[in-house]
Amino acid sequence: MLLRGGRLVDPAAGIDALLDVRLRAGLVREIGPHLAPEPGEETLDAAGAVVAPGFVDMHVHLRDPGFPDKETLATGSRAAARGGFTAVACMPNTEPALDSVEILAGLLRRARDPEVACRIYPIAAMTRGRRGGETLDYAGLAAAGAVAFSDDGSPVADDAIMRAVALRARSTGRRLIAHAEDEDPMVRRDLTLARETATAWHIAHVSTAVSAAAVAEARRTGVDVTCEVTPHHLVFTSELVRERGGGAKVNPPLRGEDDARALRDSVRRGEVDAFATDHAPHTAREKALPFERAAMGFTGLEVAVGAYAYALPDLPLARFVAMLSANPARILGVPGGTLTVGSPADVTVFADRPWTVRSEAFASKGRSTPFDGMRLPRAVVATIVAGSLRYRAEGPVSA
Ligand code: DOR
């Protein structure tokens, strides 16, 4: 396939220029101005659009195994492709939890089904059953394909066990992902353990000014820590709970405007490494329950590109692309994140073309997002995984 006429933005390679990209046999084959199509080559007109390394969402819930009413690998990966993601890392809060080599192997076998539209990287549990009591064979889990370790929404409460997890997982080189719920104290505890044990850590969905500042300070003083933000924590506040009840319920919760503004400023200052959606699909019935019993979380994959551009319209394009490609790929230690010759042919094409979110048209089974009905400024044009076109938007490329 030949991608013609687009603006190639590859921050890892320091490229921002009008360049064509030729893909062949699953890899980037050639980059240059005005490449001529070869006989039999498919072409994609990217004039007016940005051609970027495939986006990687390092925080999604795919619900496999255990919750096919909420999402399946087929629906979740199709949602990813529609959202511009060529790869996603899925959290282990499944049933059973992703806590053994056998369970990971089963997931990865299902992920090879032709119905599955993107690459899937499992994040394994930190403790048996995510119950916070028993450490696991981290080297074995990493060898079986785990790209990181996390107990997701049930973070390890016992400091001694958390320290043991860190010391045993450290040699895998895979990051521990803190999914702090009672956020500020837990983030502080984990940053202290990251420092003391010299273990690579990642703080998921930072949502408060205090946590964002603590991560930045830890990093300034030598801790190997990275962090991510979701689109909803950048845009919405707890005001929304009054309007929408369970529809606005998410963990960590929506905060005040001061926190949302502080997070946007942290991104602008380069203190946040990655954009991640925390795509958390639930059935309509589970989201419609009274607030106390409603399911937590929003479906995120199909709005992400537009939502981040809405939250941070002034973010330089190279930074926008890096936060969605090079940075998450580096944090997880997975291929991709660049389009230099020889790299995987995973490509996201997007354009500054306003569109209106219609959740009823989502590929995801989850339809609950606070962005529903909103007009967003940036849209996905095409998603290419290993050289195959997995999504192509209808209509012209640019506005
Ligand atoms: O809102 C959330 N939803 N936060 C979590 O921690 C888990 C997630 C889910 O799995 O639904």
Indicate the pLDDT class of residue 180, thresholds 50, 70 and 90: confident
Write the pLDDT tens digit of every residue in 296-322.
Answer: 999 999 999 999 999 999 999 999 999
Kindly tell me if the per-residue pLDDT of 398 is higher than 80: no
In which band, very low, low, confident or very high, does the pLDDT at 399 lie, cut at 50, 70 and 90? low
pLDDT-derived band at 179 (thresholds 50, 70, 90) equals confident
Cα 16 to ligand 1 centre (Å): 36
| Closest Cα to atom 3 of ligand 1 | 297
Active site residue 64: no
Dump pLDDT digits (tens) for 49-99: 999 999 999 999 999 999 999 999 999 999 999 999 999 999 999 999 999
Nearest to 75 by CA among 105, 101, 46, 113: 113
Give the distance between the most distant pair of CA atoms in the chain: 63
Q: Which of 99, 278, 346, 372 is catalytic?
A: 278
Q: Name all residues whose Cβ lies below 6 A of ligand 1.
A: 61, 93, 153, 179, 250-251, 280, 296-297
Testing ligand 1's pocket by substitution, the residue of 60, 61, 94, 203 carrying the most ligand atoms inside 8 A of its CB is 61
Domains of the chain: 2-51+345-392 (2.30.40.10), 54-332 (3.20.20.140)
Q: What is the mean pLDDT of the chain?
A: 97
Whole-number Å distance, alpha carbon 61 to ligand 1 midpoint, is 8
